[in-house]
Homo-oligomer: A and B are copies of this chain.
Amino acid sequence: MSGGFRPGRAPALLPEVATPSPRIATRSLVHRNPFATVSAVHADFGSFAKDYYVVDFGPRAGIVAVNEGRVLLTAQYRFLLDRAAWEIPGGRVDDGESPEQTARRECLEETGFSCDDLHPLVTYRPGLDNVENLTSVFYSERVKEHRPFQPDPAEVLSLAWIPLEDCVSLILEQRIVDALTISAVLAYRCVVARRGKDHGRPAPRS
């Protein structure tokens, strides 16, 4: 792994905020299934108290794999849409794996494409109180076919290489609705725009 985003100016400032200091009174497991646990937390802040229910899916990782300005998307059947959705490759971080290893492995497993060089892109959480699912996204611009893609009705149905600006349009038209893909593609779009500006050369055509 090398590179990644390097800000061309001083870090942006956020105001300092004095935060309340909770004393956690209880934390108990209230549900477990093969993909997640749910814990009930009672947090005592002194002048007030709050109850949280935390769904823990564990960490996951994804990758924006780019070739000549086109982004690699996979189509999988998704239960909550009841149709195929177009998404970047990604999945759960296995025990002992780094998020970077996961991103690399998922891309290879799902698409047959290997990524030479990974750059950190964005890290996010689906929820800050109730969903533990730390998501690390990388990008790679050195992507090669390692083995031919094999469609699998139970996993990836199809692949597509979509120009970056078309991916942005599909997001704004609500035809890509996956949070991972949206965060990843829009962050990559910003990195490309800033790189073009910082280096005095145009962003890659896409």
Interface of A is mostly: mixed
Q: Which residue of B lies closest to A121 (CB)?
A: B172
Contact A77 B19 (CB under 8 A): yes
- How many copies of this kind of chain does the complex include? 2
| Contact of A18 with B by CB under 8 A | yes
0/1 string, A1-35, CB within 8 A of B gives 1: 00001010101111101111010000000110111
0/1 string, A47-76, CB within 8 A of B gives 1: 110111111010000000000000001010
Task: Tell me the A residues contacting B by CB distance below 8 Å.
Answer: 5, 7, 9, 11-15, 17-20, 22, 30-31, 33-36, 38, 40-41, 43, 45, 47-48, 50-55, 57, 73, 75, 77-87, 121-133, 135, 153-154, 157-158, 160, 162-163, 166-175, 177-179, 182-183, 186-187, 189-191, 193
Give 24 CB contacts A-B under 8 Å.
A7-B169, A7-B172, A15-B75, A15-B158, A17-B158, A19-B157, A22-B79, A31-B38, A43-B79, A45-B153, A45-B154, A48-B154, A55-B55, A122-B171, A123-B174, A124-B177, A124-B178, A125-B178, A126-B127, A126-B133, A128-B177, A128-B178, A171-B187, A179-B179
